[in-house]
Amino acid sequence: MAELTKIMWNLPNLVENTDMNKLFLAKLVENKILSEDLLRNIQKKEKNNKFPYSIFMEIDKKGKDSVTKLVDILIETGNVKSAKLLDNKRKSVESHIRVSTVDQNSDDSEYNINREDTKKLSLITRINAVSDNMLKQQGIEPPDIQVRDFEEPDILKVNVIKATEYFIDQVKIYNMRSEVKGLAVILNNEEFTLEEEFQTRKGSQVDVKNLSALFQQLGFSVVILQNQTRSETLKYLIDFSSNSAHMSADMMVFCMSTHGPERGKLMSSDCLEIDIEKDILRRFTNDNCPDLRGKPKFFIFQACQGQDTDYGVELKRGNTDCYTDARPWITGAEFPPPSSPLKDPAWEDMLIAYATLPGFVSYRDHVRGTWFIESLCKVLMKQSCDTNLRDMLDEVARLLKKYQTEMGAKQSFKYEVIHFYKKLFFHPGLPATTLQ
């Protein structure tokens, strides 16, 4: 087997960390790494999401000298992280005005980034002025990639607002008045045995930190599991569902953050599939977990559910509500016949939140964590004091709608309920109380 080059070894991370704007493409032509005709051919042949991959693969064919020039271009255009992937021993560069897209807390001083110079002129103005002139000289028409001003990421600090009163209704509201609400398990798979196929999920530890802080402040006992194999995960689920702590608990939370190869599947750290319904949800039915019978069970799955990308649609003003006149289907009798014993459904009191829609990817920032978990934590820490969970998830959807990648990609999450027929208030910060 031939040894992988640095570009091919780091290809996914290069694509993720490189802002392939007009200036970058013009520099490739200017330095005779790629020709104008080749760029046009790639642009015509590839979709936007495949374009960066093809560019790096073509550069890789040119040999080591072209890779050395590429590192210089990456530094000059502000793609410092990508430059480090290809040459982490570089100690100095020529003095140019550069833009850094990395966290200021990271050590990029060896690249001599002049942060003061970057503040003197708008990023959009500076790049567009330079790159447009270059493109006119070179005659290139690269894809229309929007260039945005870079700002330091606003790192979330979870601080839950305390409630001031209990919401009580034995029929319509779940009982949530214990000092410890229950167990909250956070299972995070960051590293995987097949590294070439399943990359390290950089930034996932931010999600772990945020979720842990959130549920601790909401009154849960938090358990954190890292990099679990399939057998370890399944064994823990059996132990967790039979944990005696559920007898005195108000509810439970289970969050799993990992890669998701397809709809309804999660990936273990040893790269084996875990079925959400069969392997996880089924463990917490009333049959398999009687101690949580009649108590809410909140599942959070942060993972892709496919490879599709949602590039959104243009905004449309006006009323888009949709109505139907179809009559609801009802059973023939409101109550069962006298000979039938009253029963509870085997599947009930479950609320399952998915980071994205079936078939689509979800997004993760190396510094801030995933879009969905960040949005979830933002909403729950501010509104748990007086808002029920389902209403808060609707707010999460509104907040997530504001997120967008540089390429214009969006993300929609969904949640589903299984006989979750009461409202759930967390009552953070209130002392335990008994039923009245």
Cβ–Cβ < 8 Å for 365, 153: yes
Q: HSE-up of 109 (CA within 13 Å, CB side)?
A: 2
Cβ–Cβ < 8 Å for 288, 240: no
Relative to beta strand 265-267, strand 251-257 is unpaired
CA–CA dist 138, 188 (Å, integer): 48
The size of the chain, in residues, is 436
CA–CA dist 380, 388 (Å, integer): 10
Q: Which residue has the tokens 């929609």?
A: 412
- Continuous H helices in 46-79: 51-61, 64-76
Give the residue numbers annotated as catalytic, written as ranges. 259, 304
Q: Give the list of residues 6+ apart from residue 399 with CB closer than 8 angstroms, or none.
A: 375, 378, 379
Cβ–Cβ < 8 Å for 419, 349: yes
Cβ–Cβ < 8 Å for 230, 274: yes
* Degrees to nearest 5, angle at CA 222 with 221 and 226: 155
CA–CA dist 263, 417 (Å, integer): 17
Task: For the chain, report the end-to-end CA distance as a whole number of angstroms.
Answer: 72
